[in-house]
Chains A and B, each alone.
Chain A
């Protein structure tokens, strides 16, 4: 069965420090992975999708099939990056998102 693991419930970093939010997945098929972000009092929104290979708001994520990981990285954290981040795996023929439990990122001044 598919599973997404985000081992850190809370990650606290100082402004300007590098950020890495960890995500590991378990899936027998070809994975399609996403990072979603939820800012305070806002809806869940797409941050990036691995197929796009984009950098959004300075964040990047590389799919490592050997390590079954899709870690989210940013070289220099900003205060506005404080939010809840969810890693998600698309399965079921593209119909179902399986989410991790999320990591709360807190960027301190």
Chain B
């Protein structure tokens, strides 16, 4: 099991563009969470997907949206990119079992907005 995988590894975009990041969860996991990690900061929760629906959302604008597919993989979309969106975007997966809510993280996608 490769664990949580993310693509691409790095991405460079310009202001105003749109970006899509992808995540495949760890085998046996059906819940995917997305986090933004700015330089020098801890990860900040964007939202979580379960059963193809957004289950909870952090304090991020509507420019940030997501999707979960039937195979549990997920996408994070960011529209109208701003310079401040430059960060490492982390995906984490976990099983639905409430007793096993540990989140396992992927390597991240480094987004640079110029």
Give complex CA distance A98, B35 in Å. Answer: 10
A70 in contact (CB, < 8 A): no
CB-CB under 8 A from B40, the residues of chain A are 101
Give complex CA distance A92, B55 in Å. Answer: 10
Tell me, rounded to whole Å, the shortest Cβ–Cβ distance linking A90 to chain B: 6
- By secondary structure, the A interface counts as strand
Tell me, rounded to whole Å, the shortest Cβ–Cβ distance linking A91 to chain B: 9
Q: Are B101 and A44 in contact (CB under 8 A)?
A: no
Query: For residues 20 through 45 of chain A, which have their beta carbon under 8 Å from a beta carbon of chain B?
Result: 32, 34, 36, 43-45
Give complex CA distance A88, B102 in Å. Answer: 11
One of B45, B98, B108 near A97 (C-beta < 8 A): B45
Q: Are B42 and A102 in contact (CB under 8 A)?
A: yes
CB-CB under 8 A from B89, the residues of chain A are none
A11 in contact (CB, < 8 A): no
Nearest residue, chain B, Cβ from A43: B107
Query: For residues 43 through 73 of chain B, which have their beta carbon under 8 Å from a beta carbon of chain A?
Result: 43-45, 48, 55-56, 58
Contact with A along B11-46 (1 / 0, CB 8 A): 000000000000000000000010100001111110
User: Beyond A43-B105, A46-B103, A96-B48: 5 further Cβ-contacts under 8 Å?
Assistant: A34-B102, A43-B107, A44-B43, A44-B105, A46-B104
Residues of chain B whose beta carbon lies under 8 Å from any beta carbon of chain A: 4, 33, 35, 40-45, 48, 55-56, 58, 90, 92, 98, 101-108
